[in-house]
Amino acid sequence: MLVGNSFPLSLVRRPVAIRPRPMEELRALLAERGAASFWGHASTLARVSAALGCDLTPDTSRPALRLNDSLLPELDGVAYDQCWVVSADFIPGYRPAVGEEVPPEKITGWQVLCVDWQEKNLV
């Protein structure tokens, strides 16, 4: 399963369906399947790993996704037709500065999105 803290919409080149999902669903799937992580923020890694019960430390620091010939996201040579995005909820009124690593105490919870890539020819 492909999991990260954000997904660059510039890499969406074919139809996708994006659905909010419960954290419990992702936690159960990770326990069953494990994760291929492209988590990019070291400061939130321990907190999200604890919340999900799965170590989301990527194999390399700040790994970059790329698109394969089918326009699916690829990480370390493996293509995925689904990606889970976990983003932090912040304390009210907090907005990180550009380039700021978010301190863990500013995080109040997590939001989960499931991105599913559809067939290329859908309109």
SS3 state at 57: coil
Q: What is the mean pLDDT of the chain?
A: 92
Residue-wise pLDDT tens digits, 54-111: 999 999 988 999 999 999 999 999 999 999 999 999 999 998 888 777 888 899 999 9
**CA-CA-CA-CA torsion for 25, 28, 29, 35, nearest 10 degrees?**
110
Q: Enter the CATH code of domain 2-117.
A: 3.40.50.11170
> In this structure, what are the phi and psi dihedrals at residue 53, rounded to the nearest 5 degrees?
70, 25
pLDDT band at 121 (very low <50, low <70, confident <90, very high): low
Once rounded to an integer, what is the mean pLDDT over residues 29-33?
96
- Comparing 97 with 39, the larger pLDDT belongs to 39
Given this model, what pLDDT does residue 93 score? 92
| pTM of the shown model | 0.90
Q: What is the largest CA-CA distance in the chain?
A: 45
